[in-house]
Amino acid sequence: MRTRPLKVALLGCGVVGSEVARIMTTHADDLAARIGAPVELTGVAVRRPSKIREGIDPALVTTDATALVKRGDIDVVVEVIGGIEPARSLITTAFEHGASVVSANKALLAQDGAALHAAAEEHGRDLYYEAAVAGAIPLIRPLRESLAGDKINRVMGIVNGTTNFILDKMDSTGAGYQEALDEATALGYAEADPTADVEGFDAAAKAAILAGIAFHTRVRLDDVYREGMNEVTSADFASAKAMGCTIKLLAICERAADGGSVTARVHPAMIPLSHPLASVRGAYNAVFVESDAAGQLMFYGPGAGGAPTASAVLGDLVAVCRNKLSGATGPGDSAYTQLPVSSMGEVVTRYHISLDVADKPGVLAQVATVFAEHGVSIDTVRQQGRQDGSGDASLVVVTHRASDASLNGTVEALRSLDTVRGVASIMRVEGE
């Protein structure tokens, strides 16, 4: 074993960063044995240096992150500060000054992953980011390495624990959206401002990363269709249960049937109870992968939190340090296919549409005609009169597979019918 330590700089010492530092200290001997050399925490860049950080020598703490990554003797920089800047500049500066980088920054990688990979390659450094997508779940490395010889056709998963906790509560207890969100906030699963989670921004960044790796093409955050879950209601769950389904916020990355394009999207969807993702409860994450040779695979585990995310960071740190000792670098960016990313309008799936209609003869025929005129085939129909004396009924239509564009045209035409009082909800049905 080499006795001279590999030097590590830590950018950020919050929930994840403090766990990374703790594990590096408490598991130092094991890490050294696995790597083939000791690892030494050489500096910790923070915004508030006066804060007491248990187990971290105050002499290591600095507010000058740029000076830390420019030192020239740093072997690996671990970036867990998040956001676009200054993280982007610090990472590229680290490459320029001889360090490889381990990051958990999903937003930055989804936006500028190609440029960061190019900078890493230019300087002969590693860029690893297992922790950016699903916390402790090994996912990036299996897609990038274990399945490198296979053709991946679809990646579909629950990649945000906050939203899964909320939807699971709505499903299991009958709670409304706001009630479930309030409980998630009280338990620490949701931030004070939950927008990034419930509006799907967090999941969309992860979908961009997954699609790029799975399909060997450039997929940026702007390419991902995003739809939040704050309009999901108890009535939607009742409809889902009637179909033998539940509702999940899904990140879905697909290769077109002809192989000529890909899509990436995030939205709520009904999913059959028989599908493995339907049983993912609480704040857990799971990702379902479909490929030509391996078939169907599912990766499951805690997708957030200090210790689980730090576990993924440390796994990357070990891999990068081993590469450093051997004078090699690991797999870099693979975007040789350069496939176009199709718009959401071209996505084909099933739909569940709930309509408020006049309860009188001929309404169903009118509705069916509109679907037929727009080329959307109906699978099942369920109509139920109301007991409130309004003279209206609830009409639920489940389609066969149709494009998003054709479904949108159908809905607009339905709204123009005098007998249709309103469109109560529209939800995609996935996971057949």
- Under the banding of pLDDT at 50, 70 and 90, the label for residue 115 is very high
Chain position carrying tokens 């035409």: 413
Residue 432 to residue 412: CA distance in whole angstroms? 27
Q: What is the rounded average pLDDT for all residues in the chain?
A: 95
How large a percentage of the chain has pLDDT more than 70? 100
Question: What pLDDT score does 387 carry?
Answer: 67
DSSP 340: P
Question: What pLDDT score does 389 carry?
Answer: 66
- Amino acid symbol at 29: D
Q: Which residues contact 122 (CB under 8 A, 6 or more apart)?
A: 95
Q: pLDDT of 3-17, one tens digit each?
A: 899 999 999 999 999
Distances (CA, A) of 399 to 225, 284, 358, 403: 21, 30, 21, 11
Whole-prediction pTM: 0.94
Q: Has 7 been annotated as catalytic?
A: no
- Amino acid symbol at 59: A
Q: pLDDT of 372-401, one tens digit each?
A: 999 999 999 998 877 676 778 999 999 999
Question: What pLDDT score does 154 carry?
Answer: 98
Judge contact between 425 and 230, C-beta under 8 A: no
Q: Is the pLDDT of residue 157 over 80?
A: yes
Higher per-residue confidence, 305 vs 364: 364
Residue 301 to residue 280: CA distance in whole angstroms? 9
Question: What pLDDT score does 237 carry?
Answer: 96
Question: What pLDDT score does 51 carry?
Answer: 86
Question: What pLDDT score does 384 carry?
Answer: 84
Angle at alpha carbon of residue 350, lines to 345 and 355, rounded to 5°: 95
Q: pLDDT of 237-294, one tens digit each?
A: 999 999 999 999 999 999 999 999 999 999 999 999 999 999 999 999 999 999 999 9
Q: pLDDT of 34-88, one tens digit each?
A: 999 999 999 999 999 888 888 899 999 999 999 999 999 999 999 999 999 999 9
**155-159 average pLDDT score:** 98
Residue 55 to residue 21: CA distance in whole angstroms? 8
**183-187 average pLDDT score:** 93
Residue 265 to residue 65: CA distance in whole angstroms? 35
Question: What pLDDT score does 385 carry?
Answer: 78
Set 7, 106, 169, 206: catalytic member: 206
